[in-house]
Structure 1
Amino acid sequence: MVHVRQNGVYLLKGRVMMDDMQPVNMAEANRRMANAGCCPLPETAVDKDEARKGTIAWRILNSHNVSGEQSKLKLRFDALTSHDITYVGIVQTACASGMKEFSIPYVLTNCHNSLCAVGGTINEDDHVFGLSAAKKFGGIFVPTHQAVIHQYMREMMTGCGKMILGSDSHTRYGALGTMGIGEGGGELVKQLLKRTYDIAYPDVVAIYLSGAPAAGVGPQDVALAVIGAVFKSGFVKNKVLEFVGPGIDNLTVDFRNGIDVMTTETTCLSSIWRTDEAVAEYYRIHGRPDGYRRLEPGDVSYYDGLIQVELDKIKPMIALPFHPSNVWSIEELNQNAADILRQVEKEGQKQLENPDLRFNLTHKLAKGRLKVDQGVVAGCAGGTFENIAAMAGILDGQSVGADAFALSVYPASQPVSLALSGNRMLEKLMLAGATIRSAFCGPCFGAGDVPANNGLSIRHTTRNFPHREGSKPDNEQIAAVALMDARSIAATARNSGILTPATEVQMEFAPPAYHFNQKVYENRVYQGFGQAKPAEELVFGPNIASWPAIRRLPENLLLAVAAVIRDPVTTTDELIPSGETSSFRSNPYKLAEFTLSRKDPSYVTRAKAIQAMEQKRQSTADNPAPEVDAYFRSALPAAEYSDAAWQKLLRDTGLGSVIFALKPGDGSAREQAASCQRVLGSDANIAVEYATKRYRSNLINWGMIPFTVAAKDQDKLAVHDVIFIPGIRQAISSDAEKVEALVINQAGKSSLELRLESLSRDDRDILLAGSLINYYAG
C-alpha cells in the first residue's frame, strides 16, 4: 500500500527507479528503460549533484533563490496569504518595521472567525481592519463566507512554477504546480519588507504513485495512509515531497488537491507535483490558462528518499483521536473495534493529562460497530467540488436519519457552492438531511459544530488534535474527532452513524463537469494590489492592541523554568489553544492569558511572576530594588562577587521564563504559539528537537532563543529550576554553537550544555535585537 525507502534513489524519465549509485550505471539504466517501454538515455554518466537538478523542486527553488548559492537559499515568493486570525498581527508588525505598502500580492481572507459568534464585535472589527489595510497598503481582501483561504488561492492565485507563502500551515498548492509553504507571520513580514525566506537547501523525497484508487476511496484515504506511514519516524520532516509516477494520471485535480493539502501533517516543508493536461484544464476552467506549464522531472533526477504508494491497494481509512497519524483502515477497525478503541483510549488519556476527565470511545460500540454522533465535511481538505458531489451521489434518495446523527457540509468557496447548486447536488444532500453551510474553516480548528459531551465526530478536515472539536476539558467537557474521507462519511451517514466505508456502498459515480463562475469574486473581492492609498486610515476596533515593547537580548540570562512538557510531541494547539480563543488573536495581552491553559494551567501565573520581577529589575537598574536583589541572591552565589560586580550582574542579567518540551511545535503555523510566551516574558524554549521549522522560526522572530539539549539531558530540568546563562549575548554574537549554563535548584547546582544549532547570521541578529520588530526598527 505505502512503502518507505529512506535511501536515495534515481528516477529515470519520471518512471524507472534505481537505487542510489555514484555515478549512474547508464547501461543498467537503459536496460530498465527498455523493459519499461521507454526510450534510452544518452550513454553519459550522470552524478548525484547533477541529478538533484533534475527534480521539479530544484528548478522552482532555484528560480526563486536570490542568494547565488544552491546550498543556502534566500527565497522571494510570488504571493502571500493570511486569514483573519493572523493578518492583523502581521500588518501591525510590518507597519512597526517600516512598511509603507504591500510590495507583493497579499491576499487577506476571512474564513476562520467569519461567524462573528464569540466576543461581541471583535471578530468583525478585525475584518474591518483587514479591509482598511488592503486599501491603505494595496492588498486583496476576500470577505467572509466567500472562500476558505486555500481554496481561493487555488482558484485565483496559483500558477505552475510559482511559490506562495502563507501564515497557515496548510499552505499547499503542489498539485497545481505551485510550491506553498506555511510559516509564522514574521516570515510574511520579511517578504513585505522585500527581505527573503532563508533556509538550507532541503532534501527532496519522491512520492511515486502507481495504480488507480478503487471506487469509494477518496483523497483523504490516500493522505492518511501516507501520514500514517511517515509521521512517527520523522522521515520527511522539513523536506519537500515531489509527487511523480504514472498513478497521477488516474487522479482528478480535485483528488490531487485533497492529498496535497494533507502533506502538512507529515511535517514536510512543501510539496510539488508533476503537472499534465488535467492541470492545464483546471487553469482553463478558472479563466487563467496562462497559469499552466508542464512540470516534470528531468531525464535523470535524484531524490533523497522514496515513498511508493500503490493507489489500487489503498482502503478507506480513519485517523482516530488525537492525531492524523493515528491511522487504521475502517475495515480493520470494524473487525477489531473493542481492542483498537481501548488502545486509543489509553493513549488519549495520557494526552489529556487530566485523570478526572474520562476519555471513552468504547461506549460508542453498538453490536461491535462504532456508532458516531456527527459528520462534518469542510475546509480546504473536505469542501471541494468533487468530494461534495461524491457525497451527493452516495446519499441521493437516502436519509441520514431522524436520530442523533447529524451531517454538515461546508463547500470551500462560493463558486463551488454555485456549481453544486446548479447541478442539484446540494439539493440531493439537503433532501437526505444534511445541512449546507457557507465557506468556513471553523470545524477544522475547533470553532464550529461542537458535538455533545462525550461525542465523537467524523470529519473530512485537516486535523483531529485534542479539543479541535471545540470541547472544553477545563469545564469537564470532552469530545473527540476522527478524520475520514467525505465518501465514507456519506456512507456512514447513510447508515445512520454506524461506521461504514464507502467501498461497501454499491454505486456508480462520475463527477459532473465543473463550471467556475468568477463573477462571484468580481462582484465582492477587493482587488487593490498595486493601488495603495496611503491616505486611508487603518480602522482599529477596541480589541486590537499593538505588540508590547520588547527589550534587547541582555548580556546574561537568568531563566526560571515555568513549564516542563514530556509528551513525545507538543502541538501548537497545546501551546496556545485554537477554537474560541482565536477571537482574541488581535490582542496579544488577552490571548496570552490562554497560553498552555489546557496543558499546564499554572504556567501563566508563574510566567507573570517572573515577568513582574524583570520589569522591577529594569525600572531600578541603577539602584536595584531589594526584592530584585533578594531574588538574584536566592538563585546565584552572591558571595562569589564583589559588591561592584554584583551590581553589574544585576544590571546586565535579564530575567525571563522558559518552557522545556521534548519536541514542541507540531501543527499550526500560528506565530501566537511563540508570541504569547514572549508577551509573558519568556526568553527561550529548550527542546531535544523542534517538531517543525515554522515553530522554530516563530521563536526566533519573537526574540526567543531556540535552545536544544542532548536527549540524555532531558531529565535535568523541572518547574521552578533556575538556569543561569552567562555571556549569552556574546555567544549569540560570536556565532557560538553552544553555551554552558548552570542549573540551580534545591538539590544544588549542575551544568547543562545548551546548543545553538543552525542559526543564520540574520537569526542571530534578530535574537540580539530582541525581536523581528526591533531588528527592522533599528
Structure 2
Amino acid sequence: MVKLYDEGIFLLNGKDIVPASAAKQNPALDPDQAKKGTIAYSILKAHNTTDDMEHLKERFDAMTSHDITYVGIIQTARASGLETFPLPYVLTNCHNSLCAVGGTINEDDHVFGLSAAKKYGGIFVPPHMAVIHQYMREMMAGCGKMILGSDSHTRYGALGTMAIGEGGGELVKQLLKDTYDIDYPGVIAIYLTGRPMPGVGPHDIALAIEKEVFANGYVKNKVMEFVGPGVASMSTDFRNSVDVMTTETTCLSSIWRTDEETRRYLALHGRENDYRQLDPADVAYYDGCVEVDLSTIKPMIALPFHPSNVYEIEELNENAEDIFHEIDEHAKELTGNPNIHFSLSEKIKDGKIHVQQGIIAGCSGGNYSNVMAAAHIMKNAQVGNDVFNVSVYPSSQPVFMDLMNKGAIYELMKSGAAVKTAFCGPCFGAGDTPANNEFSIRHTTRNFPNREGSKPGNDQLAAVALMDARSIAATAVNHGVLTPATAFADDYEVPEDDFDPSVYQSRIYDGFDAPKPETELVYGPNIKDWPAMEPLADNILLRVDAKIMDAVTTTDELIPSGETSSYRSNPLGLAEFTLSRRDPKYVGRAKATRALEESRTNGTLPALETVYEQIKAITPDVDPKTIEIGSMIYAVKPGDGSAREQAASCQRVLGGLANICTEYATKRYRSNVINWGMIPFQMKEEPKFEIGDYIYVPNIRQALHGDMKQIKAYVLGKEMELNLYIAEMTEHEKEIVEAGCLINYNRNK
C-alpha cells in the first residue's frame, strides 16, 4: 500500500500522523513553527549563509563529479578565476572508464583530471575503482552534511546527508566560494511502516513510490524525508538503493532518519565520528505525506519507456498481452514509424514472457546487498547458453572484494553470469547496449528511450525495464522467463558487509588541503576552452529552431548520452550532437541563426529586411543593429533526467538565447539554462509559432527587473502576440543571464 495525503500533515513523536485539517482545533500545532522540526530544516539551516530561511544561500561540505562532467566544470571555474578547491572535490572516473569510444580521448580526460586534482587540491578516483555515488557513500557522506554533485543521482540521504544533483554551473559557484541559492523547498514525509517481505528488494520499494508520485508532481523540487518505524527494517545498504531512485521522482533531495544501523555503517567505513542521530522533532510539519506499508510491496517492474511506468510482476504476467500491446503502439508514436520492428508482444511465448538480457549495475543495483541476494538465488543454477545473458557490475572495488570473500562472485560466475568492474555505462548507453527489439531487465536507474543506447530516430529501439536484482536473478534461474523473486524466497538474510579500504589507500589520490599550484594541467587535443559568449542585449530576436510537442523532453534527447561521451570536454564538438536523436536538423538551423548574429556583431546587418520592417512597426526607435539574434527551442516540458549541463550549454554555444516551455521538468535543467545565459521563458498558451518563425522580445533586460509575470513578445509576420513569463529568479541569476553566462558574470566581478 502506498497512500498519498492530499494535504499537509503533522508528525507527532515520529510515529503519529495528524492531517492538517484535523489539527486546526489545536492552536499548539502551528505549521510555520512545526516545519522547523523536520530533519531537512535543521540541515538546510546549518548550511545557510544568511538568516533568511525563505531564500536560502547554501554552502556544501563536499562535491563530486565524474569524467563526463568534471573537465567542463574545471575549465569553467578556471575561466572564472579559480585558484584552489576550497572544499573536498571528488573526481571519479566511472562513466568514460572503458576509454573505448573515440580512441584515447576519454583517457585524456582522466589525465587532465589527475593533474587538476594535484594542482587545485582535489581527490581523484581512477577508473574501475568505484561508481561515483558508491565512493561518496563509503568515504564522504555523513550525518547532517550536504553534498553537491554534477550527476542527477547524487543522493546520500540514507546516511543522513542531504545531497543534490545539479548542472556544472552550480558546482562552479561553490568552487568560487559563491552560494547555492534556492527558495526554501517543500518537505514531504515518506512514512514507512512494516518490513519488506522475502524476495522484495529496494528497487521494488522505490518503483512502487515512483509510480504514485511522478506523474502528479507530488514531490517535484521538494525534499523527501524518510521517517517512520519501517526505516529500521532495512540495512543501510538496502536504504541506499531505495534512496538513489528518489531522483526519478524529480524531487530536489532526500534525507532519512538515522539510527544505530547508520552508526554501524559509518563505523565500518572508518567514520563513526560522522554519525549523529537524526530524527524529526516531537512535532514536525510536512507539506505532504507518502505512507508506505513495506510489507505490502511486491516485486515490481518499470516497463518502457519511463521509471514511473510500473506494474507488479505478477500483474504483468497475468495481463501481458494487453499491457505489451499498449507499449508497442506507444513505440510507433515515439519513432513516428508505424513499421518499426519493435514488439514486446513477440516476447510472449506459450503464455510466458521471455527476456533476452539481465543487468545488475551501478549506484542502484551494484550494491553489496543486492549482489549477495542475487548470488544466493542463482546458486547452483545455470543461466544457459541461449540468447539470455546476465552481467553484474559491483559498485566499487571494496564491494567486489567483499563479494569475493563471501563466495558470491564465485557463485555468479559459475552460473554463467559475467562479472565486471565498477562502471556506470549500462545506465546511460555505453555498456551492454541491447540489440534492436531486445527485452532487457535491469537493476539500474533509468529506462528512457535513447538512454540505454537505442536510437528511435534511426528505428533502433530496445525495450528496457527496471527490476530488482533479486527478480533478475529469479528470471536467470528460469533461463530468461520473467519471474518475481518471491517465487524463490526463503529465510535467507544477507550477512553484514565488510569493508577493506586497502585498494583505495593504494590507488586514490587525495590532495585536499594540499594543492600544488605549480602543477601543469595536462590537455589532450579534444579538451577545448569555452567559446566567447555575448552579454544580453536590451532587445532580442529569437528564431524558432526546434519545436518539440512531446509531453516530456529528457536531457538524453536534448544532448544524447553514450556515443557523445568522448566529446564532453569539447564544447563545439559536443554541440554537433544537440537534439540529434530528436530533431537532427536542429544543429544546422541553429548554426544558420548564429551566422546571422555573427554578421550583426561584425557590423553587417543580416539580410532580414522584412523582419526589421515588422520590428520597426512595434518599436520605431530601436536600431536593428542593437537587436541580438539567437536561436530558441520550444518544448512542452524539457529537462527530465540527467543533471548534465551540456543539455543547455550545447544550445548556448550554437547561439541559443532562450527556451520557451509550459514548465521545466526539473529545477536543475532550468538552472543550467540560466547559468549558460539563456532566458527560461514559459507560456501557458499552445504555441502557434512554427520552426523558422521569428519572435521579437523588446526590453528584455528591463523585463528581468520588472514584472516577469507578463512579458510581451511578437511572432513576426503573423500578427501574433505571445504572453511569456519567467518564474522567480534570484538577483544573482538575473545578473548571470544579463552577463551572457556564468563565466562572463564571474569575469565581470
Bin of the TM-score, shorter chain as denominator length = over 0.9
The residue aligned with 2:711 is 739
Give the direction of change, closer, same or farther, for the CA distance of 1:244–1:610 in structure 2 (3 Å limit).
same
1:298-337 alignment, distance < 5 Å: 298-337=281-320
How far, CA to CA, are the matches of 2:386 and 2:274 in structure 1?
48
- Are the aligned partners of 1:381 and 1:462 in contact in 2 as well (CA < 8 Å)? yes
Cα offsets for 1:527-572 (capped at 9, x unmatched): 0001111110111101111111000001111101011111111110
Give the direction of change, closer, same or farther, for the CA distance of 1:641–1:106 in structure 2 (3 Å limit).
closer
How far, CA to CA, are the matches of 2:327 and 2:613 in structure 1?
46
Cα offsets for 1:467-516 (capped at 9, x unmatched): 22212344442212100000000000110000000001143311123110
1:63 aligns to what SS in structure 2? helix
Of 107, 129, 132, which residue of structure 1 is paired with 2:90? Answer: 107
Unaligned runs of 5+ in 1: 27-43
Paired AA for residue 3 in structure 2:
H
The residue aligned with 2:240 is 257
Give the direction of change, closer, same or farther, for the CA distance of 1:730–1:455 in structure 2 (3 Å limit).
same
1:380 aligns to what SS in structure 2? helix
How far apart are residue 208 of structure 1 and its match? Answer: 0.4
- Are the aligned partners of 1:166 and 1:183 in contact in 2 as well (CA < 8 Å)? yes
1:152-191 alignment, distance < 5 Å: 152-191=135-174
Paired AA for residue 774 in structure 1:
N
1:637 aligns to what SS in structure 2? helix
How far apart are residue 353 of structure 1 and its match? Answer: 3.6
Give the direction of change, closer, same or farther, for the CA distance of 1:572–1:406 in structure 2 (3 Å limit).
same
How far, CA to CA, are the matches of 2:96 and 2:338 in structure 1?
32
The residue aligned with 2:12 is 12
How far, CA to CA, are the matches of 1:444 and 1:638 in structure 2?
48
Give the direction of change, closer, same or farther, for the CA distance of 1:582–1:278 in structure 2 (3 Å limit).
same
How far, CA to CA, are the matches of 1:603 and 1:738 in structure 2?
29
The residue aligned with 1:631 is 608
The residue aligned with 1:541 is 524
- Are the aligned partners of 2:335 and 2:459 in contact in 1 as well (CA < 8 Å)? no
The residue aligned with 1:33 is none
Paired AA for residue 80 in structure 2:
S
The residue aligned with 1:35 is none
How far apart are residue 92 of structure 1 and its match? Answer: 0.4
How far, CA to CA, are the matches of 1:375 and 1:390 in structure 2?
15
1:280 aligns to what SS in structure 2? helix
How far, CA to CA, are the matches of 1:136 and 1:425 in structure 2?
41
Paired AA for residue 436 in structure 1:
V
The residue aligned with 2:547 is 564
The residue aligned with 2:638 is 664
- Are the aligned partners of 1:66 and 1:74 in contact in 2 as well (CA < 8 Å)? yes
- Are the aligned partners of 2:696 and 2:715 in contact in 1 as well (CA < 8 Å)? yes
The residue aligned with 1:764 is 734
The residue aligned with 2:577 is 594
Paired AA for residue 741 in structure 1:
A
2:323 aligns to what SS in structure 1? helix
How far, CA to CA, are the matches of 1:418 and 1:387 in structure 2?
15
Cα offsets for 1:452-476 (capped at 9, x unmatched): 2211110000000002221234444
Paired AA for residue 683 in structure 1:
L
Of 743, 746, 749, which residue of structure 1 is paired with 2:719? Answer: 749
- Are the aligned partners of 1:206 and 1:241 in contact in 2 as well (CA < 8 Å)? yes
1:117-516 alignment, distance < 5 Å: 117-516=100-499
- Are the aligned partners of 1:236 and 1:267 in contact in 2 as well (CA < 8 Å)? yes
How far, CA to CA, are the matches of 1:641 and 1:150 in structure 2?
53
Give the direction of change, closer, same or farther, for the CA distance of 1:355–1:561 in structure 2 (3 Å limit).
farther
How far apart are residue 22 of structure 1 and its match? Answer: 8.7
- Are the aligned partners of 1:577 and 1:595 in contact in 2 as well (CA < 8 Å)? yes
How far apart are residue 47 of structure 1 and its match? Answer: 1.3
Give the direction of change, closer, same or farther, for the CA distance of 1:449–1:725 in structure 2 (3 Å limit).
same
How far apart are residue 356 of structure 1 and its match? Answer: 4.9
2:716 aligns to what SS in structure 1? strand
Identity %: 59
- Are the aligned partners of 2:364 and 2:444 in contact in 1 as well (CA < 8 Å)? yes
- Are the aligned partners of 1:733 and 1:765 in contact in 2 as well (CA < 8 Å)? no
The residue aligned with 1:2 is 2
Q: TM-score, normalising length from structure 1? A: 0.94
How far, CA to CA, are the matches of 2:613 and 2:342 in structure 1?
44
How far, CA to CA, are the matches of 2:139 and 2:332 in structure 1?
43
Paired AA for residue 215 in structure 2:
K
1:431 aligns to what SS in structure 2? helix
How far, CA to CA, are the matches of 2:336 and 2:565 in structure 1?
23
1:226 aligns to what SS in structure 2? helix
The residue aligned with 2:695 is 723
- Are the aligned partners of 2:341 and 2:437 in contact in 1 as well (CA < 8 Å)? no
How far, CA to CA, are the matches of 1:442 and 1:585 in structure 2?
15
1:523 aligns to what SS in structure 2? helix
Structure 2 residue 740 is the aligned partner of structure 1 residue 774 = no
- Are the aligned partners of 1:48 and 1:302 in contact in 2 as well (CA < 8 Å)? yes
How far apart are residue 361 of structure 1 and its match? Answer: 0.8
More displaced 10-residue stretch of structure 1: 464-473 or 92-101: 464-473
- Are the aligned partners of 1:665 and 1:691 in contact in 2 as well (CA < 8 Å)? yes
Cα offsets for 1:218-259 (capped at 9, x unmatched): 000000000010100011100000001111111111111111
Cα offsets for 1:264-316 (capped at 9, x unmatched): 00000000001011000001111111011000010000000000111011010
How far, CA to CA, are the matches of 2:434 and 2:551 in structure 1?
28
The residue aligned with 1:55 is 38
How far apart are residue 737 of structure 1 and its match? Answer: 3.7
How far, CA to CA, are the matches of 1:474 and 1:10 in structure 2?
49
- Are the aligned partners of 2:449 and 2:461 in contact in 1 as well (CA < 8 Å)? no
How far, CA to CA, are the matches of 1:433 and 1:491 in structure 2?
14
- Are the aligned partners of 2:590 and 2:655 in contact in 1 as well (CA < 8 Å)? yes
- Are the aligned partners of 2:202 and 2:238 in contact in 1 as well (CA < 8 Å)? yes
Paired AA for residue 459 in structure 1:
R
The residue aligned with 2:624 is 650
How far apart are residue 354 of structure 1 and its match? Answer: 4.0
How far apart are residue 641 of structure 1 and its match? Answer: 8.9
- Are the aligned partners of 1:6 and 1:304 in contact in 2 as well (CA < 8 Å)? no
Q: TM-score, normalising length from structure 2? A: 0.98
How far, CA to CA, are the matches of 2:646 and 2:532 in structure 1?
16
How far, CA to CA, are the matches of 2:304 and 2:413 in structure 1?
29
2:479 aligns to what SS in structure 1? coil
How far, CA to CA, are the matches of 2:517 and 2:613 in structure 1?
53
Structure 2 residue 663 is the aligned partner of structure 1 residue 686 = no
The residue aligned with 1:37 is none
How far, CA to CA, are the matches of 2:231 and 2:580 in structure 1?
44
Unaligned runs of 5+ in 2: none
How far, CA to CA, are the matches of 2:344 and 2:160 in structure 1?
41
The residue aligned with 1:38 is none
Cα offsets for 1:339-361 (capped at 9, x unmatched): 00011122233233444534321
Cα offsets for 1:380-415 (capped at 9, x unmatched): 000000000001100000111111100000000000
The residue aligned with 1:79 is 62
Paired AA for residue 727 in structure 1:
N
How far, CA to CA, are the matches of 1:23 and 1:368 in structure 2?
52
How far apart are residue 717 of structure 1 and its match? Answer: 2.3
The residue aligned with 1:610 is 593
How far, CA to CA, are the matches of 2:555 and 2:210 in structure 1?
18
2:215 aligns to what SS in structure 1? coil
How far, CA to CA, are the matches of 1:740 and 1:200 in structure 2?
27
More displaced 10-residue stretch of structure 1: 582-591 or 409-418: 582-591
